[in-house]
Amino acid sequence: MKGPVATPKWALVLPLAGAAALIGGLFLELSVGLAVAFVAVLIGAVIAAVHHAEVIAERVGEPFGTLVLALAVTVIEASLIVSLMLTGGPESADLARNTLYSAIMIVCNGVVGLCLLIGGMRHGEQEFKIESSSSSLGVLIALATLTLVLPVYTTSTPGPTFSVAQLLFAAAASLVLYGMFVFVQTVKHREYFLAPGPAPRAEHARPSVATAATSAGLLLVCLVAVVGLAKLLSPGIEAAVLACGAPEATIGIAIACLVLLPEAVAAVRAAHADRLQSSLNLALGSALASIGLTIPAVVAVATLLHMPLTLGLGPKDTVLLVLTFIVSTLTFSTGRTTVLQGTVHLVLFAAFLFLSLVP
């Protein structure tokens, strides 16, 4: 067994560079050159975040390792959505819906499709436990239907909205479902979320507590930098979207893409290393956390501040969401995946992007 590997210098420098860029961006006027620099720093912070998340995962083991990154990103994602709602006023009533819907489509089609395609091309068939995917997908379908589809069909309020009582019920249901999922994943049926077959032989010692604690702190710095820089870039993104004549929903897609970068990179790296179970744990877990934690936060702010909140999806988006869940159910029904399933999901992701730009 090899000794523990020291933290590389770049993994220490990139989080600090991200924090410095974020602080500088608060006092500087955003220009094209500065925006390009921010994007480069943001990508570096994403790479560092994935490294530190993997260090923590090696220390705490699965499935806690994948849960750490999903929860950390989602908490900050929820904070970003809430802050944009507070600064955007009534015009941001549909921001949470657009961002959450985009997150589901990006994860379930874009990230999962890329993981299955890359893993399948490199390793052929890959295995995972059906119990984990069915559990994750079942909770995700329930959460998405209750919060993004049902508001269109209720009659207490006009339009695709919930009444205050219905919002509070949706928030409570989201917390209960996600809390029970985390309990099952980490305590009651933890074995469902462990890779099938014998445990892989460790090539080096587990990181020390001090190393893991350092990585946890640097991971937090990276994620704050990623989300903070995404917020600083959001006005430029919005201006670019409007200049191109694209629908406003594209803004939610761009924000979701930026925020989900660390999880997407980590999931793809796991699939490339023939760790599909970890890849799916991270991908589906991030989609679950996005709804399960963001909806209660958004509902609390909207209720306390009497802000409008539009949650219901339109017909086109509802069809794509249902199609995604049907295909995902078929993909995860056998415990084995190939490049074919990955290609199908990526085509659905392309359809989502195309129809968002050309509705």
Rounded CA separation 343/357 (Å): 21
170 pLDDT more than 50: yes
The residues spanned by each domain of the chain are 9-357
Identify the pLDDT of residue 62: 64
Q: How confident is the model at residue 199 (pLDDT cuts 50, 70, 90)?
A: low
Is residue 127 classed as helix, strand or coil in its secondary structure? Answer: strand
- Pick the closest to residue 150 from 319, 312, 354, 330 (CA basis): 312
Between CA 238 and CA 246 the distance in angstroms is 10
Distance CA 313, CA 280 (A): 26
Question: Beta strand 126-127 with 336-337: parallel, antiparallel or unpaired?
Answer: antiparallel
pLDDT at 329: 94
What number is the average pLDDT over the span 221-242? 77
Q: Which pLDDT value is given to residue 2?
A: 47
pTM higher than 0.85, yes or no?
no
- 190 CB contacts (<8 Å, ≥6 apart)? 63
**Cα separation, 279 vs 112, whole angstroms:** 8
- The CATH T-level fold of domain 9-357 is A middle domain of Talin 1 (1.20.1420)
Q: What is the mean pLDDT of the chain?
A: 84
pLDDT tens digits for 341-354? 999 999 999 999 99
